Amino acid sequence: MKKSIFKKNELLSIINRAIIDLPSPSTINSLWNFGSILGVILIAQIITGIFLSFHYNSDITTAFSSIISINYRINNGWFLRAAHANGASIFFLIIYFHTIRNIYYNSFFLSITWVSGITILLVSIITAFVGYVLPWGQISFWGATVITNLLSAIPYLGTTLVEWIWGGFSVDKPTLTRFFSFHFLFPFILLVLVILHLVFLHRTGSSNPSGINSNSDKIPFHPFFSSKDIVGFLFIFSTLLLISTLAPNLFTDPENFSMANPLVAPIHIQPEWYFLFAYTILRSVPNKLGGVLALIIAILILYFFPLINNNSWQGNQYSPEKKVIFWILINNIIILTWLGIKPVEFPFNFLSILISPLYFILIIIIPAFNFLRKK
């Protein structure tokens, strides 16, 4: 009995040190709520995903009809699916905000925490991609065909790798079964990565808007910042509730309401909105291998931010020059996203070729800003 009481008290002590009494910079604001919001949304996605998996059939002959069954025959199934699908959009919106905020405030100098966060972003992208294939609609099927076929551009191993992912010579039943397994497994890998991310964050401490070391100016996390987090949770879940009930198909491509047909390709194949900027970069390169490399580098370049600039604390985020460069980057990403929904024809393909290189230039200049400024 004493041993169980001791273990309980020890657990409470760990929680108290990790959350309640966690020393936090007094200057951090609501922009530092994104991380905790992402954790709560991830839990919600896992819970809704588990319930949806009870009724989903990972077979090409019944997958589409099982989605219809969830929407119309399962009690509150329509809400579960809408919350899960729209929750993915909100998750990516917040994770992009979280990443952009860290870039603006130079948080990448916390290298281990930054690398673990970018890994979470990459695994989230893979999880969302394989999940979008599961409804087995037209865009789901053809999106999977186009994106997985890009791997064939890899010299020597490309074709073998594509056939291994497909489980055959085309996107078919084995592909859907594998993607369902991946989509079920990856969120739990994400959960482990998030826990590691939090461990690294608690070990190094958080950045702050002032961009200076504030070890002498820290206050307990609770109640000063936990109250802000609760307000953030309420706002996000209210938004998700409104979208899921009033406009559940707001982010759904109309083509995906038709069952997958390998013989008829949609006129315009495009991914979900949160992948459009990368999709524009991919198709702006006329060479297939070059496009794949550009797509991979567009994300993987974030891993090298701590190497480009490893200064521990710096307060340059308020300089007018950096603000201008930062907002040009944001507008560049917005334009790339807009171009992603446009057909591959003039003037959109011409604009893609012009705008895409600017993304790489800006994404390198921002972390190297202090170094360039000193020169």
Q: What is the pLDDT of residues 304-316, one digit of tens each?
A: 888 876 565 555 5
- The single-letter DSSP state of residue 265 is -
Rounded Cα distance between 297 and 253, Å, is 27
pLDDT of residue 250: 86
- Residues designated catalytic: 202, 206, 228-229, 272
Q: What is the pLDDT of residues 285-299, one digit of tens each?
A: 888 888 889 989 999
Contact in structure between 261 and 138 (CB atoms under 8 Å)? yes
Mean pLDDT across the stretch 330-341? 93
Rounded Cα distance between 339 and 35, Å, is 29
Angle in degrees, CA 51, 230, 39, rounded to 5: 45
The share of the chain scoring above pLDDT 90, in percent, equals: 42
CA-based nearest residue to 283, from 270, 274, 272: 270
pLDDT of residue 335: 94
Quick check: 125 pLDDT over 90? yes
Query: What are the φ and ψ backbone dihedral angles of 286, each rounded to 5 degrees?
Result: -65, -25
Mean pLDDT across the stretch 124-139? 92
Quick check: 181 pLDDT over 50? yes
Tokens of 99: 């990443």
More confident residue, 253 or 211: 253
Verify that 107 and 169 share a domain, yes or no. Answer: yes
* Overall number of domains in the chain: 2
**Is residue 25, in this structure, part of any structural domain at all?**
no
- Other C-beta atoms closer than 10 Å to the C-beta of 38 total 24
**Is residue 212, in this structure, part of any structural domain at all?**
no
Rounded Cα distance between 127 and 124, Å, is 5
Helix ranges, the chain (H): 2-15, 34-53, 63-72, 77-104, 111-133, 138-149, 158-166, 173-204, 226-246, 276-283, 288-300, 305-308, 320-340, 348-365, 369-374
Verify that 135 and 276 share a domain, yes or no. Answer: no
**Is residue 17, in this structure, part of any structural domain at all?**
no
- pLDDT category, 12, cuts 50, 70, 90? very low
Quick check: 84 pLDDT over 70? yes
pLDDT of residue 216: 60
**Is residue 61, in this structure, part of any structural domain at all?**
yes
Which of 49-53, 89-93, 204-208 has the lowest average pLDDT? 204-208
Verify that 178 and 281 share a domain, yes or no. Answer: no
Contacts of 265 (CB under 8 A, 6+ apart): 142
Verify that 229 and 163 share a domain, yes or no. Answer: yes
Containing structural domain, residue 139: 30-205+222-262
- CB burial of 278-300 (b: ≥16 within 10 Å; e: otherwise) equals bbbbbbbbeeeeebbebbeebee
Q: What is the pLDDT of residues 143-171, one digit of tens each?
A: 899 889 888 888 888 889 999 999 888 88
**Is residue 24, in this structure, part of any structural domain at all?**
no
Contact in structure between 80 and 73 (CB atoms under 8 Å)? no
- CB burial of 71-90 (b: ≥16 within 10 Å; e: otherwise) equals eeebeebbbbbbbbbbbbbb
pLDDT of residue 182: 93
pLDDT of residue 243: 93
**Is residue 280, in this structure, part of any structural domain at all?**
yes
The SS3 call for residue 220 is strand
pTM strictly above 0.85: yes
**Is residue 20, in this structure, part of any structural domain at all?**
no
Q: What is the pLDDT of residues 204-238, one digit of tens each?
A: 777 767 666 655 666 666 666 777 778 888 999 99
Verify that 254 and 341 share a domain, yes or no. Answer: no
pLDDT of residue 347: 87
- pLDDT category, 46, cuts 50, 70, 90? very high
Q: Look over the chain and give the mean of its residue pLDDT values, rounded to a whole number.
A: 84
Tokens of 288: 């297939």
Long-range contact list for 171-174, CB < 8 A, 24+ apart?
171/141, 171/144, 171/145, 171/262, 172/60, 173/59, 173/60
Verify that 284 and 349 share a domain, yes or no. Answer: yes
pLDDT of residue 22: 67
Verify that 236 and 341 share a domain, yes or no. Answer: no
- What are the beta bridge partners of residue 259? 137
- pLDDT category, 265, cuts 50, 70, 90? confident
Quick check: 26 pLDDT over 70? no
Verify that 328 and 187 share a domain, yes or no. Answer: no
- Other C-beta atoms closer than 10 Å to the C-beta of 275 total 21
Residue count of the chain, please give it. 375
Verify that 41 and 168 share a domain, yes or no. Answer: yes
What are the Cα distances from residue 108, in Å, to 28, 112, 161, 310? 16, 9, 33, 8
Verify that 300 and 154 share a domain, yes or no. Answer: no
pLDDT of residue 168: 85
The SS3 call for residue 218 is strand
Contact in structure between 168 and 160 (CB atoms under 8 Å)? no
Verify that 296 and 314 share a domain, yes or no. Answer: yes
Q: Which helix or strand (DSSP H or E) is residue 24 part of?
A: strand 23-25
**Is residue 227, in this structure, part of any structural domain at all?**
yes
Verify that 58 and 197 share a domain, yes or no. Answer: yes
Q: What is the pLDDT of residues 348-361, one digit of tens each?
A: 888 999 899 999 99
CA-based nearest residue to 219, from 203, 205, 231, 201: 205
pLDDT of residue 11: 44
Q: Using CA atoms in the order 3, 6, 8, 11, what is the torsion angle rounded to 10 degrees? A: -130
- Identify the CATH number of the domain in which residue 326 sits: 1.10.287.980
